[in-house]
Chains A and B, each alone.
Chain A
Amino acid sequence: MTEQTIYELSQPGRKGFAFPEPDVPSTPLPQEFERESVRLPELSELDVIRHFTNLSHLNHSVDGGFYPLGSCTMKYNPKINEAVARLPGLANTHPLQPIVSVQGNLYLMYQLQEWLQEISGFDKVCLTPAAGAQGELVGALIIKKYHQDNNDPKRVKILIPDSAHGTNPATSSMSGFDVVPLPSDARGNVDLEALKTHCDDTLAGLMLTNPNTLGLFDEHVEQVVQLVHSAGGLVYGDGANLNALLGIIRPGDVGFDIMHFNLHKTFSTPHGGGGPGSGPVGVTQALADYLPGPIVTIIEDGDEENPPFYGFYTPEKTIGRMKAFYGHFGMLVRAYTYIAMHGPEGLRDIGEKAVLNANYLMKKVSEDYYLPYDRTCMHEFVVEGAWKDIPGVHALDIAKRLMDYGFHPPTNYFPLVVHEALMIEPTETESKQTLDAFAAAMKAIAKEAREDPEMLNKAPYTTPLRRCDEVKAARDLVFCCWVPEE
């Protein structure tokens, strides 16, 4: 099944949209800069709507079906979020308007900062980072500047557990640090003995995802934090898996110094086919002066009759600006709405049900799949997508076959510490019936693997396309569609 491209659908002379005629006298263009034309497609509005509607039908989505993509927290995105983010009073404000005319926006951002601080146990939150990876960059640059300000430039080493997301090492090297991988122990925790050998005066910090990408809560997390602190390092928390901790524990209470939030995972802002994300960062008081600006603050206190007056400030020792303006405001509106609707009890309910669902599904799936770390998990778990006695079947085959059963595959071949990994995160918004159906599909595939392994190698069969040739794509390097000549 294929859909023609917008250029293939284009018909010379067709129009999809018209603007009013100019109502001002004409000024000639500067000839030396004038271009002849831009080769854009020529389509009617119906052509465009039908094209993109047809394309949408080729996607799997949370609205359409179960999406247990590990570490991505593909929970339901409430529709009210979309409605409020589009309120003209919010969506049509210009970022450079005088602050007196946007007190609603600033109030919302201030509240969200306060709420995220309360939820995470950090002293100060900055909302500007555009995504989780940018939040990490903020964290790494803060670690760097902190040590520089303490006249401690020899701290060049960042420790990263071997189960970490690829963004952690990439961020560290982008910030000029040396990356030192840390092994996991047999129970999936940070290996304390290995950690101790690196706790010296060259240690800048540790980037820790907890629960980690195996879905396990580190059993020695307080010790890990303490070891790093006593060596003079800082502990960065990757908040990718914060969903498991809502109302359960606050990373700030455990001693983390910095953490980013993924509003698009934990707080239900939609993933959008790969963005926009939103990655606010929380820090302890000792690091608050390093945050990027602008941050919302109260400029004048309110009283019984008047609300406070809000404005922006940039911290004194700031690492600098991360992007234009103030972050992904539209995403902040959605996250605010989500937290407002949940309150303390609702947030704890999210953490609890995410973990309940994961443990239930883990028990079901592990009837047929090897579970390398067999202990209570948090919001996700990792099994091996292969069997020693069936050498021809791999995690990829199982992932692809799941599509024939109507499910999005789990994250596969990650984390790297598990052979043929399938990383499954059901999220709290899925029902027992959905989990049962998914477990049944996994069981059926395990049976197929024994009975007809070659069939699995060719899966999927019922999707809009069959397996795609990724080698050809990387060899041919075709990045643009055919465009008709003028």
Chain B
Amino acid sequence: MYTPHTPQEIEEMLSFIGVKSIEALFEKVPAKHRFPQLDLPAGLTEMEVAAELNEIASANASTDDFISFLGAGAYNHYIPAAVDMILQRGEFYTAYTPYQPEVSQGTLQSIFEFQSLMTELTGMDVSNASHYDGATAAAEAANLAYHTFRGKRKKILVSRSVNPQYRETIRTYMNGMENVSVLGDEIENSETFESFMDLIDKDTAVVVVQYPDFFGRIIDYTKLVEKAHEAGALVTYVFNPTALGLLKPPGAFDADIAVADGQPLGIPLSYGGPYLGIFTVKDKYVRKLAGRLVGETVDEEGTRAYVLTLTAREQHIRREKSTSNICTNQGLMALAATVYLSLLGKSGFKQVANLCYQKAHYAAEQISKLPGFELAFPDTPFFHEFVIKTPKPVNEINLHLEHHWILGGYDLSQDYPEMENHMLIAVTEKISREDIDDFVAALEEVTHD
């Protein structure tokens, strides 16, 4: 479809090569398997494929059709039009990893700006050029900690209130390491974290906590950080980037590593990906950091320039001695976050965080007034997500809500058997007071049935 060769050009090229046919170029391919008949539908024209994709899309109902209170790791924020306009520039999206700085300054400078924005946002010292997503960034944090102690510390402690999918991903990554145990799951969520903290010892490589946690709660981990540091262990914060528009950053709590999913920063929900892994560390871990890193330098004439740097850490140089196999970053998604934060700026970013906070608190207050509904953690502050105890199973309630074109919150019993009838509700700036009132009214109907 996109091959430009005319029959005459093909002849000229074959004759220059010195073969009679294109088939003759494949003589080294085992004959009995050569040129298989693929059982696929015949190719479509662009017009036909556009119609087909429209039809597929119309078999979905999206967050444009529903009022959505779903969060749990992916958030329905407004994306300014300018963000995608920049992403659609072919100069950005059809370029590759900026190996040649002389003709890649656009990508390099935007990554450098991304790194700068991430360190400002988190209060950490250094950010890499990004990672696949929040879950893999958390797994790489465990990987970094493991390598920091040269494999001698065998315990990775992950709080049960870290996103369950992140916890699973950390476990998968640690399968490759010898005798590493990932602990913390068995400690039932408690707001004081005492029993979880008791696990910290001299064999602990890293303690992973989430801020705000998976239940939306804003928790002060100061004591936990102190205890981990006393034991010589690292501390990783998994954070929500929007929340940092209002809340003290992980750097202020002396975190060693801070990771996040950057999807809330101008990246569409897109059914779970591609998103953006944010990965930031204290200075002293920079040489153990996985992934690309852009540094400032000058060119031969002394002009400011940006290049990929400290590449000696990476797989293409160190091969089996590198700490990670990561090769690409999430370049275009990092660009989205960079444009988003540049556009919102100091005031707009604070505004969006505040709107999320205020609307979530209004929703929580209204819902908890309903008979049979109550906040699961009434004494703990939260950001834009909160847990409600419901009078009926969450899936039943959500079925009812769907009839009102409302996507209810996440059913926590899927991951936490002890949390039957617990719904995790997310509220973003896209939800209006009227939407919340409709949601509350629909929830109230459930109590009548």
Q: How far is the CB of B287 from chain A (nearest CB, A)?
A: 10
Indicate if the CB atoms of A93 and B62 lie closer than 8 Å.
Answer: yes
- Chain A hits for B41, CB < 8 A: 340, 343
Q: How far is the CB of B68 from chain A (nearest CB, A)?
A: 6
Q: CA A14 – CA B344 in complex, angstroms? A: 10
A302 within 8 A of B: no
- Chain A hits for B134, CB < 8 A: 324
Q: CA A20 – CA B99 in complex, angstroms? A: 42
Q: CA A331 – CA B328 in complex, angstroms? A: 15
B410 within 8 A of A: yes
Which residues between 316 and 350 of chain B lie within 8 Å of chain A, taking CB atoms?
316-333, 335, 338-339, 341-350
- Chain A hits for B271, CB < 8 A: 90, 93-95, 102, 105, 325-326, 329-330
Q: 9 extra interchain contacts, Cβ-Cβ under 8 A, other than A326-B272, A341-B49, A469-B298?
A: A24-B362, A27-B358, A27-B365, A38-B350, A101-B402, A272-B95, A273-B93, A324-B73, A330-B273
Which of A169-177, A387-395, A441-449 binds B?
A169-177
Indicate if the CB atoms of A170 and B318 lie closer than 8 Å.
Answer: yes
Indicate if the CB atoms of B93 and A272 lie closer than 8 Å.
Answer: yes
Indicate if the CB atoms of B297 and A38 lie closer than 8 Å.
Answer: no
Q: Shortest 8 CB-CB distances between A and B: which pairs? A: A325-B272, A89-B57, A63-B90, A343-B43, A95-B272, A320-B172, A272-B332, A104-B59
**Residue from B72, B100, B165, B218 whose CB has the most chain A CB atoms within 10 Å:** B100
- Chain B hits for A479, CB < 8 A: 112, 115-116, 119, 126-127, 286, 293-296
**5 A–B contacts, CB within 8 A, in A order:** A24-B362, A102-B61, A248-B34, A337-B49, A469-B299
- Chain A hits for B26, CB < 8 A: 248, 355
With A96-B74, A134-B136 as known contacts, state yes or no: A176 contacts B299, CB within 8 Å.
no
Indicate if the CB atoms of B106 and A58 lie closer than 8 Å.
Answer: yes
Q: How far is the CB of A78 from chain B (nearest CB, A)?
A: 6
**A118: contacting residue among B2, B39, B107, B304, CB under 8 A:** B39
**A464: contacting residue among B64, B102, B129, CB under 8 A:** B102
Which residues between 151 and 190 of chain B lie within 8 Å of chain A, taking CB atoms?
163, 165-166, 168-169, 171-173, 175-178
A348 within 8 A of B: yes
Q: CA A140 – CA B314 in complex, angstroms? A: 19
B237 within 8 A of A: no
**B295: contacting residue among A20, A24, A341, A477, CB under 8 A:** A477
Indicate if the CB atoms of A324 and B297 lie closer than 8 Å.
Answer: no
**Residues 61-101 of chain A, each 1 if its beta carbon lies under 8 Å from chain B, else 0:** 11110010100101111101011111111111111111001
The range of chain A's interface size is 35 or more
Q: How far is the CB of A36 from chain B (nearest CB, A)?
A: 9
**Residues 345-386 of chain B, each 1 if its beta carbon lies under 8 Å from chain A, else 0:** 111111110110111011001000000000000000100000
B14 within 8 A of A: yes
Q: CA A80 – CA B54 in complex, angstroms? A: 12
With A2-B303, A167-B327 as known contacts, state yes or no: A91 contacts B268, CB within 8 Å.
yes
**B270: contacting residue among A6, A330, A345, A464, CB under 8 A:** A330
Q: CA A372 – CA B93 in complex, angstroms? A: 34
- Chain A hits for B398, CB < 8 A: 98
Indicate if the CB atoms of B36 and A273 lie closer than 8 Å.
Answer: no
**Residues 76-89 of chain B, each 1 if its beta carbon lies under 8 Å from chain A, else 0:** 10101010111011
Indicate if the CB atoms of B295 and A473 lie closer than 8 Å.
Answer: yes
Q: CA A469 – CA B295 in complex, angstroms? A: 11
Indicate if the CB atoms of A249 and B29 lie closer than 8 Å.
Answer: yes
With A18-B351, A38-B245, A432-B12 as known contacts, state yes or no: A353 contacts B3, CB within 8 Å.
yes
Q: Residue of B at shortest CB range from A321?
A: B168
Q: How far is the CB of B270 from chain A (nearest CB, A)?
A: 4
Indicate if the CB atoms of B52 and A275 lie closer than 8 Å.
Answer: no
Q: CA A98 – CA B42 in complex, angstroms? A: 33
With A59-B107, A432-B9 as known contacts, state yes or no: A324 contacts B357, CB within 8 Å.
no
A108 within 8 A of B: yes
With A93-B269, A104-B59 as known contacts, state yes or no: A249 contacts B176, CB within 8 Å.
no
Q: How far is the CB of A153 from chain B (nearest CB, A)?
A: 11
Indicate if the CB atoms of B33 and A254 lie closer than 8 Å.
Answer: yes
Q: Residue of A at shortest CB range from B252?
A: A35
Q: How far is the CB of A479 from chain B (nearest CB, A)?
A: 5
**B352: contacting residue among A19, A95, A219, A463, CB under 8 A:** A19
- Chain A hits for B296, CB < 8 A: 473, 476, 478-479, 481
B113 within 8 A of A: yes
**B60: contacting residue among A74, A105, A140, A276, CB under 8 A:** A105
**B35: contacting residue among A86, A131, A248, CB under 8 A:** A248
A398 within 8 A of B: no
Q: Residue of B at shortest CB range from A351?
A: B26
Indicate if the CB atoms of A141 and B101 lie closer than 8 Å.
Answer: no
Indicate if the CB atoms of B169 and A481 lie closer than 8 Å.
Answer: no
Indicate if the CB atoms of A469 and B297 lie closer than 8 Å.
Answer: yes
**A341: contacting residue among B1, B59, B303, B333, CB under 8 A:** B1
- Chain B hits for A299, CB < 8 A: none
B389 within 8 A of A: no
Indicate if the CB atoms of A340 and B43 lie closer than 8 Å.
Answer: yes
- Chain A hits for B17, CB < 8 A: 356, 359-360, 363
Indicate if the CB atoms of A429 and B3 lie closer than 8 Å.
Answer: yes
Indicate if the CB atoms of B299 and A346 lie closer than 8 Å.
Answer: no
Indicate if the CB atoms of A324 and B91 lie closer than 8 Å.
Answer: no
- Chain B hits for A145, CB < 8 A: 175
Q: CA A474 – CA B308 in complex, angstroms? A: 9
**B96: contacting residue among A89, A273, A353, CB under 8 A:** A273
- Chain B hits for A118, CB < 8 A: 38-40
Indicate if the CB atoms of A175 and B176 lie closer than 8 Å.
Answer: yes
- Chain B hits for A227, CB < 8 A: none
B275 within 8 A of A: yes
Indicate if the CB atoms of B247 and A23 lie closer than 8 Å.
Answer: no
Q: Residue of A at shortest CB range from B274?
A: A276
A376 within 8 A of B: yes
Indicate if the CB atoms of A249 and B36 lie closer than 8 Å.
Answer: yes
**A63: contacting residue among B91, B163, B178, B324, CB under 8 A:** B91
